[in-house]
Structure 1
Amino acid sequence: MRTLWEVLARQRDYRLVLSAGLVSLTGDWILRTGLAFQVYLMTGSTLASGGLLLASFLPLVLLGSLAGVFVDRWDRRRTMIITNALHALGLLPLLLVRDENQLWVIYLVILVQGCLQQFFRPAEQSLVPLLVEPRQLVTANSLNSQTNDIARLVGAALGGVLAAAGGLPLLALADAATYLVAMGLLLAVRHRPGRVIVERVRGVRAAVQGLRDEWVEGIRICVGGPAMRLVFVFGLVTGVGEGAMSTLFAPFVSAELGGDGTAYGLITSSQAVGGIAGGLIAAAAGSRFSAAKLWGFGAVAFGLIDLVMFLYPLFWDGLAPAFVCMIAVGIPGAFLTAGLMTVIQRLTDDASRGRVFGALFAAEGAALLVGIAAAGLLGDVVGIIPVLVVQGLGFFVGGLVVLRRLDILTPDTSRSEVAV
């Protein structure tokens, strides 16, 4: 608890970055929830709604790794400020949409927003270790993981209300306002880089070659040392599982649990409750444990709870266990996220952290798409529950592997693997 107080009360710059992330993420959930409602209302087509998901994922897969290279070249704080400003401007075309004939404008806006996000996320994750003391890093990452849960609870509710009250224009203006507020908070951050991270190259050919070399280096770091390889493979395996989960969870609630749309929405959002509780616990006590153990035990518990949730309909009727499991799984989920982010930050140095996060995010995005496609094909062939069980097993087995390989993750995680 003392470390939590120190981080929130004494680390002014981190507090500003955390607040900016919470505000902008709330806006993201407002737009995401409201757009899903508006597009279906406008078109009556689930295919059109699916296009939103595709438009949001493509930038992660195609741009995420390369964006990380630029994040390492640029001032992270300035990158986050400019990205927020561009986010706000990029929402303005939504004010022009009147009917389904302009659906392409919505897709284009989501695509642009997704591209900008590929610069923001690695910059944020790379900046955090520079704003807190090393012993406070687990606590800081625990608080970061909470922001998405809080934003989901607030933003998802507001998104539905704003969509019903004012449609696309109100959604766009509300989301743009959150980006401007976040930009103002980041402008107040005093941290400045003490050196130029990457020397500038001259000439088009040299510039392209430099980008290629740095991009390749980011991928090499992800697979070059045993600890980073473990991080990379864990992300791929669980990413496929999360893709399957996102595809089949609604059919699971409907076909296996007998729930309606309201039940699905409530069960899905209930995970945020556990995530907030877990984030607070991890932030208060996480510094007492190694980041690798938080990651490993968090993944094992996450997988076990998911397995219980997916298998109980075979023996028990009712929705109550699903609510309990979704709330409970948020707690180890917060441990997992905080531990994993801390391990990655400690395994990389400041000069390469952005491109490593970019490469990892891109690989996980590709894995998500594989999981979405595989679940769509296999759900009807082998059944919903067997496919979802694989998702739970991925986290469970992955966590066991992490705990078995603590020797490569601790206590030497303070030493970067970049040189491996």
Structure 2
Amino acid sequence: MTDDTKTSTTKDGGFARVLRSPGALRLVGSLFVLETGSAMTTVGLPLLVMQRYGLGLEVGFTLAARFLPNILLGALAGQVVDRHDPRRVATLAALGSGLAAVLFPLTTAMWQIQLLALAIGIGYMFGFPATMALRPQVIPEGSELEGNGLIVTAERVPKLLGPAVAGPIAAVAGINWLFTAEAATALVAAALLTRLPRTAGAAGSPGADGTAREATGARQVPSSVGRRLAGWARAVAGGARDLVRMVRGDGRLSSLTITAFTYMVALGLGRTFLAAYSLHGFGHVPGMLGYLLAAMGLGGALGGMAAAAFRSWNQGWVYILGNVLEGVCWVALIATGDWYAALALLFLAGVFESIASVVYFAEVQKRLPAGLQGRYYATLVPLSDVFLVAGTVAGGVLVDRAGISTGAVLVCLAMALPVLVLVTRLVPERPAPAVEEAAPETERSAPVAESAAA
């Protein structure tokens, strides 16, 4: 299944097969409406804080509160997804986020707003890995590129649609209605998720629960709070070790994971660079930063659908070219002073970024067993947020001291250099061995590479 040739020639693969899968359509639709509501809250939350308390550090702290749960406790979310039906986890996460959003207008103090922002972050911490874990059961085998292309598009389009819809709603009805809109979209998203089939081997199955306990090396512990926490810590550590073993056993999978982190550094650098670029290069064009981000978002939406056109290619090369060409687009920005050329370059950057993202998601889905999908993303996303924050902070210092042009070059290098260094692992001569579920800790006597491919 990991052979590119086999994937490209799978009979009856393609968008038509995905579109005939009701489960895939419900998952894509749920993600789309949920992300649309989240995008509206992204607009409404800082406006609400500034209206009530003015512009200051509070805005930054409030927005940062949404990332803290994932950074600090993301690994625990993976354990929950592994031990329970991911459909139920994703549904409860959506409903919890919607409830938190609708309470924002009722707050009377800053700490209440920050607490609700923290609650939304907890919802995302559980919801994202659970949604990723649902993909193997609804996307037909052989249509991973098309299915993940639809998922990436469903995640990218709301970044354009949400703010576009939020503007008229805030102008006509007021900011408070933006949070009501997210609550409504959360209800729709949850309704779509409840119609998905129950995951085989979910928590209701004693055998699956036993396998999860064996795979993480967890043991039954007494009901003491302290011992329960110790048991969770051991489970988290054991799950992380198992995940590392499996990733290390597949050169392409491990390289994709490494470059996911380096790309987040590039993204953080790019955010700082783009703000400075729009201010110094197009200060005469009001709202140019918004136009640039919208152009990239539009390219990302179209790129998610275009990825399937390259299904006959070696997917390692597609991933490498996507990252390198996106980096070239960023560095080319410093060579143009025309607004339309800048918009075109960022549109292309969005296309290349989306194509590379689709390949990434599809390869992880094919190469990692379904039972570890949730844990993988629950481990990946918190670490990615750390790299994103590091890139953003570094970008503020580097762009300020070294200049805008140097900032563009650094963004390009952070995107292109890692995939070029890992080219021999991303484009293997032979397909990597299929990866199966982690064996119980007592059965692992083989080396790491063998246990990953056992």
Work out whether the TM-score is over 0.5.
Answer: yes
Query: Matched residues in 2 for 1:413 and 1:166: separation?
Result: 56
Choose which of 100, 122, 126 in structure 1 pairs with 2:129. Answer: 122
Query: Matched residues in 1 for 2:382 and 2:295: separation?
Result: 28
AA of the residue aligned to 1:74: H
Superposition map of 1:54-69 within 5 A: 54-69=64-79
Superposition map of 1:153-302 within 5 A: 153-194=160-201, 196=205, 197-199=208-210, 202-204=220-222, 205=227, 207-208=231-232, 209-222=234-247, 225-283=250-308, 285-302=309-326
Query: Matched residues in 2 for 1:211 and 1:159: separation?
Result: 39
Superposition map of 1:13-412 within 5 A: 13-97=23-107, 102-194=109-201, 196=205, 197-199=208-210, 202-204=220-222, 205=227, 207-208=231-232, 209-222=234-247, 225-283=250-308, 285-309=309-333, 311-312=334-335, 316-408=336-428, 411-412=431-432
Count of aligned pairs: 411
AA of the residue aligned to 2:404: I
Structure-2 change in CA distance of 1:160 and 1:79 (3 Å): same
Query: Matched residues in 1 for 2:389 and 2:296: separation?
Result: 22
| C-alpha deviation, 1:410, in angstroms | 5.9
Question: What are the Cα deviations for residues 188-219 of structure 1, in whole angstroms up to 9, with x where unaligned?
Answer: 11243146444255324373333432244335
288-297 or 171-180, larger mean C-alpha shift = 288-297
Question: What are the Cα deviations for residues 268-310 of structure 1, in whole angstroms up to 9, with x where unaligned?
Answer: 1111221222122224x2433343333222112111111212x
Structure-2 change in CA distance of 1:385 and 1:41 (3 Å): farther
Query: Matched residues in 1 for 2:272 and 2:209: separation?
Result: 41
Query: Matched residues in 2 for 1:339 and 1:282: separation?
Result: 8
Query: Matched residues in 1 for 2:56 and 2:290: separation?
Result: 17
| C-alpha deviation, 1:224, in angstroms | 6.1
| C-alpha deviation, 1:227, in angstroms | 3.3
AA of the residue aligned to 1:254: L
Structure-2 change in CA distance of 1:248 and 1:97 (3 Å): farther
Q: In the alignment, which residue of structure 1 is the partner of 2:8?
A: none
2:75, 2:375 within 8 Å by CA — same for their partners in 1?
Answer: yes
152-161 or 88-97, larger mean C-alpha shift = 88-97
User: TM-score with structure 2 length normalisation?
Assistant: 0.83
CA RMSD of aligned residues (A): 2.4
Query: Matched residues in 2 for 1:227 and 1:282: separation?
Result: 18
SS at match of 2:199: coil
Query: Matched residues in 1 for 2:437 and 2:271: separation?
Result: 33
Report % sequence identity. 25
Structure-2 change in CA distance of 1:282 and 1:259 (3 Å): farther
Structure-2 change in CA distance of 1:402 and 1:7 (3 Å): farther
1:305, 1:325 within 8 Å by CA — same for their partners in 2?
Answer: yes
1:90, 1:112 within 8 Å by CA — same for their partners in 2?
Answer: yes
Structure-2 change in CA distance of 1:28 and 1:299 (3 Å): same
Query: Matched residues in 2 for 1:416 and 1:290: separation?
Result: 23
1:72, 1:354 within 8 Å by CA — same for their partners in 2?
Answer: yes
Query: Matched residues in 1 for 2:71 and 2:245: separation?
Result: 17
Structure-2 change in CA distance of 1:265 and 1:41 (3 Å): farther
SS at match of 2:67: helix
1:19, 1:185 within 8 Å by CA — same for their partners in 2?
Answer: yes
Question: What are the Cα deviations for residues 21-77 of structure 1, in whole angstroms up to 9, with x where unaligned?
Answer: 000000010110122333334344153332233222222211223211221111111
User: TM-score with structure 1 length normalisation?
Assistant: 0.90
Query: Matched residues in 1 for 2:414 and 2:190: separation?
Result: 38
Structure 1, unmatched stretches of 5+, are none
2:29, 2:192 within 8 Å by CA — same for their partners in 1?
Answer: yes
Structure 2, unmatched stretches of 5+, are 1-11, 214-218, 439-450
1:37, 1:160 within 8 Å by CA — same for their partners in 2?
Answer: no
Rg larger for: 2
2:250, 2:433 within 8 Å by CA — same for their partners in 1?
Answer: no
Query: Matched residues in 2 for 1:161 and 1:279: separation?
Result: 28
Structure-2 change in CA distance of 1:292 and 1:228 (3 Å): same
Structure-2 change in CA distance of 1:411 and 1:365 (3 Å): same
Query: Matched residues in 2 for 1:28 and 1:51: separation?
Result: 18
Structure-2 change in CA distance of 1:210 and 1:363 (3 Å): closer
Query: Matched residues in 2 for 1:262 and 1:374: separation?
Result: 25
